[in-house]
Structure 1
């Protein structure tokens, strides 16, 4: 079935236009059906409070009660979680809240509802953001404009990381939405607004800061005019929530949880990034900390070099995608649901492939196959739920990233052959 999905990534010359669309609808529908079955099987656990949404509801309740100075006190967290989720026997301690204080304030209104009501409302809002994406992005993706917004939504719901985020009640879809809005702002040549939107995503700072860095090395310094003021405002609000002392101790709290693996809540083997990839290799413990940092730095340098040497406007979508994928790979903490943000690179690279009459060369094939594989939910379910080795998916993402980088270089080389006669347009990215 994966092959049928791959066929839809370019316009076939011998098939009727409706044939590949029918195939992709059937394939995506099958993935959504699998997700529906999984959701039905875990619905009772969700009602009891097994999902990650418990950490947001807990943090929101603590802040609403005026106990912000105790937000990162695990005994207080556990006490509050026991109040709304007492039937979770596997939880012998708090499911730790590790996000910045500002996000607890964002979720505070949800704490006025019951836990189940708040969970449902949050998922409804997440689905609303997914519904909005095609209408926002279509003007900038000409090859995908002919596809119904319903197909876009079906594709989003068929993407396992997004389903995973919905089941867990995670905030990953919100980050995807902010990235999409930042992309649109850059296309409109409004970098200050793009920077402000990226700063709003600092509730997952590890999935934003590398991306901002990759913008800066491309001389996109105006991004900072929006990013820094908003980031500072969020820091000030956070200080009011937990106090200056609490804010200053926050990095130490997060690092401590990473050291003790969050008492079982942090599992590197399930992280589809460089850290997870290296964790599964037979390395000594002394090497498992420095090696991810070294390889992450090398990957950022590689991405920066690739994006900077290519100044062709047609590669702007690919460079944006490359920066997002590299951000996920170098993030020290990235779980399966965090891959939701890769839905935007899926849209961008698919639009690029659809612009071709046929697949041309190994990079195009690798990108198309990478997209198809990311939509094969049974693989991710097996790696996550049976083998606890979702980090293996990181290899696929690494290959996908490499293929996109090769496409960028090839497009730049092709554009270079015309540069003697025509000056290339400046990239919007």
Structure 2
């Protein structure tokens, strides 16, 4: 799989060089910040002008590749603007590789300490996973989010919930994935996660306001809504979203039906409630890993703009499954929804040939249901502690 990914990456090198990947939006926003025009990072004209300076054939687009993330994330990319676009893209991919090594180290410490699996074996396994590869192809930031969530998970395993909340707040550049996850964890009784999450969120909010002003911060939700609802604004088609939104609306003649969005909201709220009601299971240490896997699956399913590269977060549930397999064979019902997700040609077929990444949501829902069913089965068959009988 790694060889296939490298071959594809090499075959699209010309498209990368001319500025097609999503990294273009990050680089342009950071360029505006560095030049003292941070207030313009959400201005389409300023974005288009900035991107025109370093992209080729930019006129092929109807407009700029918009920067839609919170302001504070643009600071992360400012150091890369001291290099040309092509060099910056390579450096960011190298940074992603370094973060992937850190993810492997964190997973081995929290889930696979006695597995005998080497770090580089884990890294190669991660590189073979299509959503991880998508981050390298697009120059995306979901591997950084994966690192923060993995560090948060490791902190939770050490009962350092306040630190876990801080780590997860750092992932708020993809708030649509982080907020549902933190909400579920807080509803499970891990309230110190919220105590760490809220102040770190406030710090990031203040940093954003210092960069672009409170006016732009307050207008940011409206900017996102316009981007998400206006055709031709550059948003990802629903058929390419592996989420509840994509699964329901990502079909011909359905994407423009507004009442379907209300259906998606109801279904998403129901999914979060179902996972939140696993509180009793999640409070038992022997079940927590599987419950956390359910929380991750629910978070990516309910995200309003979950893209293929965001599914890098599935590395955590996959690591949980690997731990389960190493400690004892896991039921076939848990394996069936996972196997297709590990085959890159399947992703290429769905997304690049059929243009229907939204079908991935079926496997994620199947996986979540299978996990919950297995948890309920294990709780039902667990031995009940018997009271001690005094000796006569």
Give the match for residue 370 of structure 2: 403
Tell whether the 8 Å contact from 2:188 to 2:278 is kept in structure 1 after alignment. no
Supply the distance in 2 between the matched residues of 1:303 and 1:139 (Cα, whole angstroms).
26
Aligned length: 386
Q: How far did residue 412 of structure 1 move?
A: 1.9
SS in 2 for 1:288: helix
Q: How far did residue 89 of structure 1 move?
A: 4.4
Give the match for residue 274 of structure 2: 302
Going from structure 1 to structure 2, the CA distance change for 1:115 and 1:328 (only over 3 Å counts) comes to same
Higher relative contact order (CA 8 A, sep 6+): 1
Supply the distance in 1 between the matched residues of 2:9 and 2:322 (Cα, whole angstroms).
28
Give the match for residue 326 of structure 2: 354
CA shift digits 1:149-186 (9 cap, x unpaired): 22211110000000011110000000000011000000
Give the match for residue 27 of structure 2: 57
Q: How far did residue 261 of structure 1 move?
A: 4.4
CA shift digits 1:81-120 (9 cap, x unpaired): 0101033443231011100000011211111111111111
Supply the distance in 2 between the matched residues of 1:53 and 1:88 (Cα, whole angstroms).
14
Tell whether the 8 Å contact from 1:95 to 1:265 is kept in structure 2 after alignment. no
Give the match for residue 369 of structure 1: 336
Q: TM-score, normalised by structure 1?
A: 0.87
Runs of 4 or more, structure 1, over 3 Å off, are: 280-284, 307-311, 419-422
1:317 equivalent to 2:285? Answer no
SS in 1 for 2:384: coil
Supply the distance in 2 between the matched residues of 1:140 and 1:195 (Cα, whole angstroms).
17
Supply the distance in 1 between the matched residues of 2:161 and 2:9 (Cα, whole angstroms).
39
SS in 1 for 2:29: helix
Q: TM-score, normalised by structure 2?
A: 0.95
Tell whether the 8 Å contact from 1:306 to 1:409 is kept in structure 2 after alignment. no
What are structure 2's unaligned runs of at least 5 residues? Answer: none
Supply the distance in 1 between the matched residues of 2:69 and 2:282 (Cα, whole angstroms).
36
CA shift digits 1:218-242 (9 cap, x unpaired): 1111112211111000000100111
1:76 equivalent to 2:46? Answer yes
The one of 141, 146, 160 equivalent to 1:190 is 160
Supply the distance in 2 between the matched residues of 1:172 and 1:310 (Cα, whole angstroms).
26
Give the match for residue 6 of structure 1: none
Going from structure 1 to structure 2, the CA distance change for 1:421 and 1:34 (only over 3 Å counts) comes to farther
CA shift digits 1:272-304 (9 cap, x unpaired): 000000013575713321011000000001111
Correspondence 1:26-425 to 2 at 5 A = 31-142=1-112, 145-261=115-231, 263-280=233-250, 285-356=257-328, 358-359=329-330, 364-415=331-382, 417-421=383-387
What are structure 1's unaligned runs of at least 5 residues? Answer: 1-30, 423-429
Supply the distance in 2 between the matched residues of 1:191 and 1:91 (Cα, whole angstroms).
45
Tell whether the 8 Å contact from 2:281 to 2:288 is kept in structure 1 after alignment. no
